[in-house]
């Protein structure tokens, strides 16, 4: 099976392409830098002709679209850019996938919900609070209504270690605690952290199963960001006294966040016949990675 991954230089894109040998991988992205050892194409996904030409050349069985602008506050402030990156390319991919009979996997987010009653199932009514959430919901609808072979996977709070990828909440907090920095962490935002390699594995399995429709993917541990930071400190024997709880409203963020969020994974578990990893299991997997031990020898 050949899978084309957009956003190949990102956190999830690199995680997928790291699974060399399990699939025939092809990456694409805005950067001119290739992603070894897979074939790689530089592309502007906002150019519909370029997207069509790429898919006609590659002829993938599936496209996994991980390309996105995930800075929620930036999306709130620069709505034109947010649409150009988070929505317009989705329409181009839908059309191109139809043309070559490729399946399309679209990544989405818990930000399609208002955070009043999580964890949410796929049947719960979306009600996004932010421009980012509204765009992601519009993208979901484009894919599900426009593609015969369509999968939408909502996920949240991605963590793990991927060399060359930007820091995520866990690696950022880990570095800060190691330096004995004081951290202020939200204690009113709830969710279920998702281990990046567990998500990558789930996406592959969904493609292999030739699945269809909407799925939620998150870890099995439901917690606040503050709880997450405390558990992280305990796992690595760091000073939890450096972590101070604060309320989201105190941060003065541009975009509203869903507070009591979280995603129920029953449908995914039924499809894959396994449960996602807990937060502790994800950390245990992370510290066994050779790349983590090499780059963070003080935690090995």
Sorted by sequence, the CB contacts under 8 Å of residue 208 that are 6+ apart come out as: 1
The number of CA neighbours under 13 Å toward the Cβ of 200 is 25
Sorted by sequence, the CB contacts under 8 Å of residue 38 that are 6+ apart come out as: 8, 17, 20, 25, 26, 27
Sorted by sequence, the CB contacts under 8 Å of residue 131 that are 6+ apart come out as: 75, 76, 79, 82, 255
For residue 119, is the peptide bond before it cis, meaning its omega torsion is within 30 degrees of 0? yes
What is the separation, in whole angstroms, between the first and last Cα of the chain? 36
Q: Residue 53: what are its φ and ψ, rounded to 5°? A: -60, -40
Tokens read off for 200: 């990558």
Q: Which residues are catalytic?
A: 132
Tokens read off for 285: 């997997």
Nearest partner of 220 among 298, 276, 138, 160, judged by Cα: 276
The residue assigned the tokens 């988070």 is: 86
The number of CA neighbours under 13 Å toward the Cβ of 191 is 27
- Alpha-carbon distance of 294 to 300, in angstroms, equals 8
**Residue ranges in the chain assigned as alpha helix (H):** 11-17, 48-58, 72-77, 79-86, 88-100, 131-146, 169-178, 196-208, 225-235, 266-272, 279-288, 290-295
Q: Which helix (H) or strand (E) holds 154?
A: strand 150-155
């Amino acid at each position: 099976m050949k899978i084309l991954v957009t956003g190949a230089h990102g956190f999830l894109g690199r995680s997928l392409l790291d699974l060399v040998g399990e699939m025939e991988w092809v990456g694409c992205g805005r950067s001119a830098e290739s992603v070894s050892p897979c074939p790689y194409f530089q592309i502007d996904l906002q150019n519909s002709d370029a997207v069509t030409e790429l898919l006609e050349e590659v002829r993938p069985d599936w496209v996994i679209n991980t390309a996105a602008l995930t800075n929620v506050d930036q999306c709130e402030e620069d709505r034109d850019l947010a649409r150009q990156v988070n929505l317009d390319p989705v329409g181009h991919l839908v059309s191109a996938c139809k043309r070559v009979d490729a399946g399309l996997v679209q990544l989405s987010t818990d930000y399609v919900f208002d955070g009043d009653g999580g964890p949410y199932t796929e049947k719960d009514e979306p009600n996004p609070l932010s421009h980012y959430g509204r765009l992601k919901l519009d993208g979901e609808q484009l894919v599900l209504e426009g593609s015969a072979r369509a999968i939408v996977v909502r996920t949240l709070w991605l963590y793990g270690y991927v060399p060359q990828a930007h820091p995520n909440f866990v690696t950022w907090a880990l570095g800060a605690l190691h330096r004995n920095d004081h951290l202020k962490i939200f204690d009113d935002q709830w969710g279920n952290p998702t281990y990046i390699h567990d998500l990558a594995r789930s996406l592959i399995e969904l493609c292999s199963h030739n699945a269809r429709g909407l799925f939620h993917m998150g870890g099995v541990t439901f917690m606040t960001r503050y709880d997450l930071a405390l558990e992280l400190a305990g796992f690595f024997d760091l000073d939890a006294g450096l972590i101070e709880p604060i309320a989201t409203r105190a941060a003065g963020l541009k975009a509203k966040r869903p507070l009591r969020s979280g995603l129920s994974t029953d449908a995914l578990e039924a499809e894959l016949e396994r449960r996602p990893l807990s937060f502790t299991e994800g950390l245990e997997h992370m510290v066994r990675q050779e790349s983590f031990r090499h780059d963070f020898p003080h935690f090995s």
